[in-house]
Structure 1
Amino acid sequence: MFPLSHMMKSFVRTGTLKVIDAEGKAHVFGGEEPGLNVTMRLTDPSLYYKLFLNPELHAGEAYMDGRMSFEEGSTLRDFLNLFSQNRSTLANYPLQSVLKRISRTVKRFQQANPVGKAQQNVAHHYDLGNDFYRLLLDKGMQYSCAYFINDDDTLEEAQQNKLRLIASKLQLKPGLKVLDIGSGWGDLALYLAAMEDVDVTGVTLSKEQYELSNEKARRAGLSHRVRFELLDYRKVDERFDRIVSVGMFEHVGVHHYGEFFAKINTLLDDDGLMVLHSIGKMSPPGTASPWLRKYIFPGAYSPALSEVFPVTEQNSLWVTDLEFLRLHYAKTLNHWHKRFEANREKIAAMYDERFCRMFEFYLISAETMFTTGSQLVFHMQLARKRDAAPIVRDYITDLQRHYKSIEPERLKILEKAKELMPA
């Protein structure tokens, strides 16, 4: 099983990995620290070289194709947790260290998202079909990190908590114009308009999201104040009192950050506020997973904060508030995975088993990034003026309490719209 066996000896430092090769021979790689015991079977001898050269790409592909499987009570989740716990030793293996350096030199091309290509990248994932995402997401179809105030919050409760938190940070007032960049299936824009008398424009690059969002606004009776456009944010030419962006910044690409924040400065009113909700990481700048980039999110990248702050400074934007949601996305992904597994037969009928194994690998690997890896979610509040937001952040908690008290009455129109949507 050489050269894979050589790398495995250096790789596994915590837990134990038993690999049954294509000839049925078992190889045990034991760590110096106790941990998970995982048994993996490889049925394709070519994986000995492929996994040695690019384990992050080829492990996912081998699982998708059924050439890598797990036995003796082990699961994919066990393997990915073991992999994540030993990630640093893999990065220090000489060949992997060299490959990482090479990958960083082509980072600009991996994350290229010019106008036009950005829409292609979005369509790759977000236009899989509304019927598919209904089986996975909450009732409002929010495809971003939820906010769990209590451990036993349902997915629906946690997603509404997130909407309430963001709305509170936006400091909404009657008559304000709001721009939602990357508006998804429209739930945030509709929530803002239901809670306050504001005018909201959402822009998305997903045709599926665009059509369903406008239909939801129409059915809720809010289309006079909430509209969605199939448009790249770089082509918006109005100014707004408030800007919000949830789960879109990960698709901008680090070499487009200057373009992004320069556009925000242009779009934002002098007294305006923006709330940016994005995945990031607490580790130094790196590159996106090659498997995730190829199969799930082309052009995507979760930045280190050291890559974000310099660009906000260069574009004269004040960071007026910053909050980290550290484990909330792990909980969210776990909920999505449970719903995925409960509907696996339906999803296989829509696509095929390979698609199911691909999406399963994505959901579990993403969850481990937030439990044992360096991933996190951050909320960055931005302004052109230092005093655009109150200088004591108690207002965020006060507004959350206020919105929660009026939600039962204000959100009736949204619930009715959701009930009318086709199952």
Structure 2
Amino acid sequence: MYSLLNAYLARMIHRGNLSITDMQGVTWRYGDDSGEPLHIKINGKKWERAIALDPALKLGEAYMHSGFDFVQGDIYGLLALVFENSGTNAETAPWMRLWQATPSHSKRLMQMNTLRRSSSNVQRHYDLSGKLYDLFLDSDRQYSCGYFEKPDDTLEQAQLAKKRHLAAKLCLKEGQKLLDIGCGWGGLGLYMARQFKADVTGVTLSHEQHEIAESRAQAAGLREHCRFLLQDYRLLASPFDRIVSVGMFEHVGIGHYREYFAHVKRLLKPDGIFVLHSIGRSGVPYATNPFIRKYIFPGGYIPSLSEVLPVIEKSGLVITDIEILRLHYAQTLKLWREAFMRNRETAKALYDEAFCRMWEFYLAASESSFRWQEMMVFQIQLAHKQDAVPLTRDYTYEAEGRWRKTDSGT
């Protein structure tokens, strides 16, 4: 085995049961033999060196291109072992920093999400076959963090609760004009139109999402209350009573935050409310993981609150509430990953083995980051005026309680 990789693993893996068989047929063992055994067989010597020198990118690429296989265990188990050990092991801190190795000074260049580039980046991910997303998402195709009111909630229950939770924070009233920035396949907008008779406009840059959202509105008989546009939010002109954005802010790019909140301020009526739901970091800022940036979300970036709040402060909008959802996304991703694995052969028929391995790694790495690293989800409620919402959060709990009874009969 490449000596540097062996040295790093020997110093890092103090707990667990990891075996690696190299190209010479020699099996190396790491850990204290506790827990479920993991056994990896390396299929190419070049991958040993590559993973040692650039683990953030090359571990995922090695798995994607069959550079190693599992004799026992799976990719999620390997990532769990690495992150559980690295959290308490200062000896390997320099190597672990390579897991997120991208020079911070290059972040803005990688996130120059102009009108044209934003459209191209979105289509890279969201214009994949709709049949793929049907394999692991809930029936409403909510491709963002669920809200688990109970630990044993199903994916369907958690995603419905998320929509309810957002509606409560928006203080949504019948007939109000609602803008959904980054509307996905239309599920949130359709819920708002159906449950509250809101006048919904959703915008997306994905052709696939736009087509499906429009057909769903037509099939549900909601075209009168709900329309979806293949358009950048920056090109909208009419003001709205309420604005919501779920899972889109991660695609804005740090260099465009001032522009983003300026447009939100412009589009929000004087007595309006805006709720931003986004993945974030609870720690200091880091650049996007290179594997995720290259293969999954080009142009994407996960901000720390320290990068978002100063921009909001300068925008002139008032922060009326901030809520942190900690492990909700870890549980959401767990359910997505398990569903994808149940339907892996169907996904392979749609694409190929390399794609399935790429998607496995993406889901496993994302779940791991929410369980053992500094990933979380924040919901920030904004308005023009301090008295736009009630003084306490009781109004959200009361509203959710009422709507929960309604939703149970949907």
Cα deviation for residue 7 of structure 1 reads 2.7
Does the C-alpha gap of structure 1 residues 226 and 350 become closer, same or farther in structure 2, counting only changes over 3 Å? same
Partner of 1:18: helix, strand, or coil? strand
Kept after mapping to 1: 8 A contact 2:44/2:67: yes
1:228 match: 228
Cα deviation for residue 408 of structure 1 reads 5.4
Residues of 1 paired with 2:296 and 2:25: CA distance?
Answer: 32
2:242 match: 242
Cα deviation for residue 107 of structure 1 reads 1.1
Kept after mapping to 1: 8 A contact 2:100/2:288: no
Residues of 2 paired with 1:211 and 1:220: CA distance?
Answer: 14
Cα deviation for residue 5 of structure 1 reads 2.1
Cα deviation for residue 122 of structure 1 reads 0.8
Kept after mapping to 2: 8 A contact 1:53/1:96: no
Cα deviation for residue 8 of structure 1 reads 2.5
Kept after mapping to 2: 8 A contact 1:80/1:365: yes
Partner of 1:168: helix, strand, or coil? helix
Residues of 1 paired with 2:267 and 2:86: CA distance?
Answer: 41
2:265 match: 265
- Superposition pairs of residues 2-401 of structure 1, within 5 angstroms: 2-30=3-31, 37-71=37-71, 73-87=72-86, 93-94=93-94, 103-401=103-401
Does the C-alpha gap of structure 1 residues 321 and 24 become closer, same or farther in structure 2, counting only changes over 3 Å? same
Residues of 2 paired with 1:163 and 1:301: CA distance?
Answer: 24
Partner of 2:82: helix, strand, or coil? helix
Partner of 2:69: helix, strand, or coil? strand
Deviation per CA, 1:80-101: give whole Å up to 9, x if none: 1012224455896546658967
1:418 match: none
Deviation per CA, 1:68-118: give whole Å up to 9, x if none: 1222x3322210101222445589654665896762121112222111111
Residues of 2 paired with 1:123 and 1:13: CA distance?
Answer: 42
Residues of 1 paired with 2:153 and 2:140: CA distance?
Answer: 16
Partner of 1:324: helix, strand, or coil? strand
Residues of 2 paired with 1:2 and 1:315: CA distance?
Answer: 52
Does the C-alpha gap of structure 1 residues 377 and 17 become closer, same or farther in structure 2, counting only changes over 3 Å? same
Task: Show structure 1 runs of 5+ residues with no match.
Answer: 412-423
Kept after mapping to 1: 8 A contact 2:186/2:202: yes
Task: Show structure 2 runs of 5+ residues with no match.
Answer: none
Partner of 1:278: helix, strand, or coil? strand
Does the C-alpha gap of structure 1 residues 102 and 156 become closer, same or farther in structure 2, counting only changes over 3 Å? closer
Does the C-alpha gap of structure 1 residues 27 and 325 become closer, same or farther in structure 2, counting only changes over 3 Å? same
Kept after mapping to 1: 8 A contact 2:56/2:98: no
Kept after mapping to 1: 8 A contact 2:55/2:98: no
Does the C-alpha gap of structure 1 residues 98 and 184 become closer, same or farther in structure 2, counting only changes over 3 Å? closer
| Larger mean Cα displacement after TM superposition, 206-215 or 111-120 | 111-120
Partner of 1:221: helix, strand, or coil? coil
1:421 match: none
Residues of 1 paired with 2:191 and 2:119: CA distance?
Answer: 26
Cα RMSD after superposing both structures: 2.1
Residues of 2 paired with 1:41 and 1:246: CA distance?
Answer: 40
Cα deviation for residue 213 of structure 1 reads 0.4
Residues of 1 paired with 2:31 and 2:131: CA distance?
Answer: 44
Partner of 1:213: helix, strand, or coil? helix
Does the C-alpha gap of structure 1 residues 15 and 281 become closer, same or farther in structure 2, counting only changes over 3 Å? same
Partner of 1:138: helix, strand, or coil? coil
Kept after mapping to 1: 8 A contact 2:293/2:300: yes
Deviation per CA, 1:335-365: give whole Å up to 9, x if none: 1112212211111111111111111111111
TM-score normalized with structure 2 length? 0.94
Deviation per CA, 1:165-210: give whole Å up to 9, x if none: 1111100112311100000010100111112132110000110110
Kept after mapping to 2: 8 A contact 1:239/1:267: yes
Cα deviation for residue 23 of structure 1 reads 1.1
Sequence identity, in percent? 44
Partner of 2:120: helix, strand, or coil? helix
1:402 match: 402
Partner of 1:116: helix, strand, or coil? helix
- Structure 1 residue identity aligned to 2:80: N
- Structure 2 residue identity aligned to 1:8: L
| Larger mean Cα displacement after TM superposition, 200-209 or 151-160 | 151-160
Does the C-alpha gap of structure 1 residues 13 and 113 become closer, same or farther in structure 2, counting only changes over 3 Å? farther
Kept after mapping to 1: 8 A contact 2:125/2:297: yes
Kept after mapping to 2: 8 A contact 1:36/1:82: no
Cα deviation for residue 152 of structure 1 reads 2.4
Residues of 1 paired with 2:80 and 2:267: CA distance?
Answer: 42
Deviation per CA, 1:206-242: give whole Å up to 9, x if none: 1011011011111111111100000111111121110
Kept after mapping to 2: 8 A contact 1:9/1:29: yes
Deviation per CA, 1:390-411: give whole Å up to 9, x if none: 11110001111121233356x5
**Between Structure 1 and Structure 2, how many residues are aligned?**
408
Partner of 2:178: helix, strand, or coil? strand
Residues of 2 paired with 1:159 and 1:30: CA distance?
Answer: 38
Kept after mapping to 2: 8 A contact 1:126/1:206: yes
- Structure 2 residue identity aligned to 1:372: W
Partner of 1:228: helix, strand, or coil? strand
Partner of 1:185: helix, strand, or coil? coil
Residues of 1 paired with 2:327 and 2:75: CA distance?
Answer: 21
Residues of 1 paired with 2:57 and 2:78: CA distance?
Answer: 15
Cα deviation for residue 158 of structure 1 reads 1.2
